[in-house]
Structure 1
Amino acid sequence: MTQFQFNLNIEDLKDSIMNSNIDAVVKASVVLVLNSVMEDERDKYLNAAAYERTNDRRDYRNGYYERDLIMSIGKLTLKVPRTRNGDFSPSVFERYARCDQAFLLSMLEMVVNGVSTRKVKNIVQQLCGESFSKSFVSSLTEKLDPIVNQWANRPLNTMYYPYIFADAMYIKVREHHRVVSKAVYIATAINENNEREILGLKVDHKESYEAWKDFFQHLQARGLQSPKLVISDAHKGLKKAIETEFVGTTWQRCTVHFKRNIFCQLPKKGMEEVKIGLKRIFEAVTIEDARNFKEEFLDQFKDNPKLEKAINTLEEGFEDAVQYMTHPKKFHQFIRSTNSLERLNQEVRRRERVIRIFPNTQSAFRLIGAVLMDCAEEQARKPVLAIGK
């Protein structure tokens, strides 16, 4: 038997591999495999191999046509086999259509999570070697419309929400070739199962009684019942809308906002004792203790002219700020302020800040709705609030 001897230079082989275009090799290999798979599928469809004479043949070969397929390794140009009657269709494109869909959803998720369209465009180009315009990436977000609309209009009559939180934040939107400020109204709740839930949102003009009224009516049209307590800041339009739309509901003024309003009325220096007295009022466990602490505070500082404005603010808003104390103690830390909703607003703001200016109101509703849906899914994965445990 003849023997062959090879002298293999490992260093030369290493250099050859390192200097080769691996991407091109991978692409060529994938193209070869996929073309072979489609060729085999056509043989099985025809029930006859090439040049085979058989009575069981279903159809005849009719050459090939080229078709591009975009994958994570880049754009591939495949030779797609066809038949005379045109009924044959390879499964490769159907199979990888799911990959394409997952790829588009990944792009969409990047946008929702606060990645700018410019960065998404660059990432896609690095992954696929294909260049997509920013407008194409932006148009992808329109696929969110039916999903967000369905979530934002889901029925609310299957659950009772005893505690509702309401707040508004402002964004910038292009409208009639101008950049205008618009309000985003958001409502969250603690439901009867002691779970946090995002009820809905609305994008409208500046915060007003009419806008809040419309928003609450929208929630009611979806089946929302009047809650026991609505927690919010002291915006006059919001407060009036709560009174008119939720008859029999108590309004709880956010204690964080209220204390901040009082502290803003205090002189800058020498107020340590005053601040301790104010904090003592809102650290009370029962409403009777809070009222007693307030009277003690007034007796101690009422003659100080520097505290006149702060005392007036305290007396004016005190009762509205301690209504949470009339509810079970186990709920107090959750319903005394809008902190939970403020944190949600910050999450929305973090992702909205990347966009800076929305092209229109619908795009603002779409993206913020998608962010809220994402936050809602995250909340759903968390355990029930540790209330009464």
Structure 2
Amino acid sequence: GKNGSNSRNGKRTKTVVTDVGPVTVEVPRDRAGAFEPQIVRKHQRRLTGVDEMVLSLSAKGLTHGEISAHLAEVYGADVSKGTISTITDSVMEGMAEWQARPLDSVYPVVFIDCVNVKIREGQVANRPIYMALAVTAEGHRDILGLWAGSEGGEGAKHWLRVLTELKNRGVEDVLMLVCDGLKGLPDAVGEVWPQTV
């Protein structure tokens, strides 16, 4: 039937892709439309375990075609490249929202550093990832953001852009900033937050 559903013995059935393979679910007939399933929602074709597997495989650098082939081979699950793209796109949208979220006006401590990470963009290459981690006034740790830089390593100019973005997202003051001895970095910090130690 359409969208993987059909009728069997007077009951509607649909196939749901799970992390243990395809599962057939019998759906009660409901003329009034009042039945609300709790585990497999109406029109849902995948359970969250599949989404998590797709994201994990994507993070390991597999292409959408490779992920689709892997799920078919290991789980017997038919997950199209289009579906995989939808799953990864939804995470990217959430990441963009998280990266632009408003921040606290004051942080007692902010740690900034750069780590080199292997990223696959056609081929695998080292890319610097700039990180800012804060300790909030309540004593909790909060990652303020992650920024991918270009090859060639860490630079004070890039840090100036990162710190300016944090200020534009609402951070008016940082009491203490912890960083390495990168040349020009103290000047960049002083330009954004003049009173920061």
Task: Tell me the distance in 1 between the aligned counterparts of 2:83 and 2:41.
Answer: 24
Task: Tell me the distance in 1 between the aligned counterparts of 2:70 and 2:175.
Answer: 50
Unaligned runs of 5+ in 2: none
- Over 3 Å counting, the alpha-carbon distance change for 1:183 and 1:139 in structure 2 is farther
Task: Tell me the distance in 2 between the aligned counterparts of 1:107 and 1:185.
Answer: 27
TM-score by length of 1: 0.38
Q: Considering fraction of residues, name the structure with more helix.
A: 1
Match of 1:231 in 2: 178
Match of 1:208 in 2: 155
Match of 1:253 in 2: none
Match of 2:11 in 1: 37
Task: Tell me the distance in 1 between the aligned counterparts of 2:160 and 2:137.
Answer: 24
SS in 1 for 2:102: coil
Is contact 1:121-1:134 (8 Å) kept? no
- Over 3 Å counting, the alpha-carbon distance change for 1:200 and 1:35 in structure 2 is farther
Is contact 1:111-1:120 (8 Å) kept? no
Alignment of 1:50-199 (within 5 A): 69-72=15-18, 73-74=21-22, 95=41, 97-98=43-44, 100-111=46-57, 117=62, 118=66, 121-123=69-71, 125-127=73-75, 129-132=76-79, 137=84, 140-157=87-104, 160-173=106-119, 181-199=126-144
Task: Tell me the distance in 1 between the aligned counterparts of 2:41 and 2:99.
Answer: 33
- Over 3 Å counting, the alpha-carbon distance change for 1:223 and 1:32 in structure 2 is closer
Residue from 183, 188, 194 that aligns with 1:247: 194
Aligned-residue CA RMSD in angstroms?
Answer: 3.8
Alignment of 1:334-373 (within 5 A): none
SS in 1 for 2:154: coil
Is contact 1:167-1:232 (8 Å) kept? yes
Is contact 1:152-1:201 (8 Å) kept? yes
Task: Tell me the distance in 2 between the aligned counterparts of 1:136 and 1:237.
Answer: 46
Offset, 1:133: 6.4
Is contact 2:16-2:47 (8 Å) kept? no
- Over 3 Å counting, the alpha-carbon distance change for 1:143 and 1:212 in structure 2 is same
Q: Considering fraction of residues, name the structure with more strand.
A: 2
Is contact 2:17-2:77 (8 Å) kept? no
Unaligned runs of 5+ in 1: 1-30, 39-66, 82-87, 251-389
SS in 2 for 1:227: strand
Task: Tell me the distance in 1 between the aligned counterparts of 2:119 and 2:95.
Answer: 19
Offset, 1:216: 0.4
Aligned length: 177
Offset, 1:140: 2.7
> Which of the two has higher C-alpha Rg?
1
Deviation per CA, 1:54-83: give whole Å up to 9, x if none: xxxxxxxxxxxxx9734445276x9xx9xx
- Over 3 Å counting, the alpha-carbon distance change for 1:167 and 1:135 in structure 2 is farther
Is contact 1:107-1:120 (8 Å) kept? no
SS in 1 for 2:44: helix
Task: Tell me the distance in 2 between the aligned counterparts of 1:115 and 1:124.
Answer: 18
